[in-house]
Amino acid sequence: MKQRFFITGTDTDVGKTYLSVGLLNLFTSLGFTTLGLKPVASGCMRHNGHLYNLDALLLQQASSLQLSYDIINPFAFEPGIAPHLAAKQSATTLTLKKVNEALHRAFNTSVDIFLVEGAGGWHTPLNEKETMAEVVMHYQLNTILIVRIHLGCLNHAILTERAIRSSGVPLFGWIANYTTGNIENGEEQINTLKHFLSAPLLGVVNFNEDPKQKINHRIILASTSLI
Ligand SMILES: Nc1ncnc2c1ncn2[C@@H]1O[C@H](COP(=O)(O)OP(=O)(O)OP(=O)(O)O)[C@@H](O)[C@H]1O
Ligand SMILES: [Mg+2]
């Protein structure tokens, strides 16, 4: 049975790609076939007339199934700004329908585990009416929330968890991630979040640690039909 995960975060730059790569490596090491997707990306580089996003390239490299770049990242924009604004600057419009259709093509691939990385946080706009959360709602993706441990993360994590739940999407678990070393009261912040977030903590990943070693795959496997 295929499993489809969505990786969201409390903000941009919280480690969604770092942990997505770690999760893809973890699943591959457990013997599953994997495919990482970054449907919407801004801040892309131009090479030979084609736009490439670093996150998408990292996900492509970490996937066990090697597919063409356009399937991994169908919507790529050059300006490093919010995707709907980058789309506008690129004289195009992002819509929920277009993103859903592109994902549908990717989901037709024969693979055990799909891992879709969001853009920014939970309610990143696709246009002036729709947000990325609606893509997750459409496909009911198992969502994993990445919380960057730093001052301010408690409010961001609680707000995001509530938004995910009110979207009616399954929140699979959360991961505490240190994108820098030496965060004051990091452990206390994580303990506080354990009280507020009802989904399980899947792991605590310290600065420069390999996520593969720190994520509790037993919780993931036991809660899905992967075993
Ligand atoms: N545990 C970690 N240890 C060391 N570096 C990390 C860790 N987590 C994230 N980073 C680094 O922090 C930066 C931001 O992480 P990342 O790119 O994964 O964030 P993101 O949430 O995917 O951002 P975006 O919203 O742009 O997609 C990257 O340079 C990444 O390598
Ligand atoms: Mg990223």
Total length of the chain: 227
Given 38, 88, 129, 194, the catalytic residue: 38
From the CA of 214, the nearest ligand is 1
Rounded CA separation 113/221 (Å):
11
Residue 18 CA, ligand 2 centroid: distance in Å: 7
Ligand 1 site residues, Cβ closer than 6 angstroms: 9, 12-18, 55, 120, 177-179, 205, 207-209
Q: How much is the pLDDT for 14?
A: 98
**Distance of alpha carbon 47 from alpha carbon 223, whole angstroms:** 41
pLDDT tens per residue across span 56-66 = 999 999 999 99
pTM higher than the cut 0.95: yes
How far apart (Å, rounded) are the C-alpha atoms in residues 69 and 13?
22
Mean pLDDT value of segment 161-172: 96
- For range 39-53, the mean pLDDT: 97
- The percentage of the chain sitting over the pLDDT mark of 70, rounded to a whole number, equals 99
Ligand 1 atom closest to Cα of residue 38:
27
Question: How large is the average pLDDT for residues 152-166?
Answer: 98
Of all ligands present, the nearest one to the C-alpha of 55 is: 2
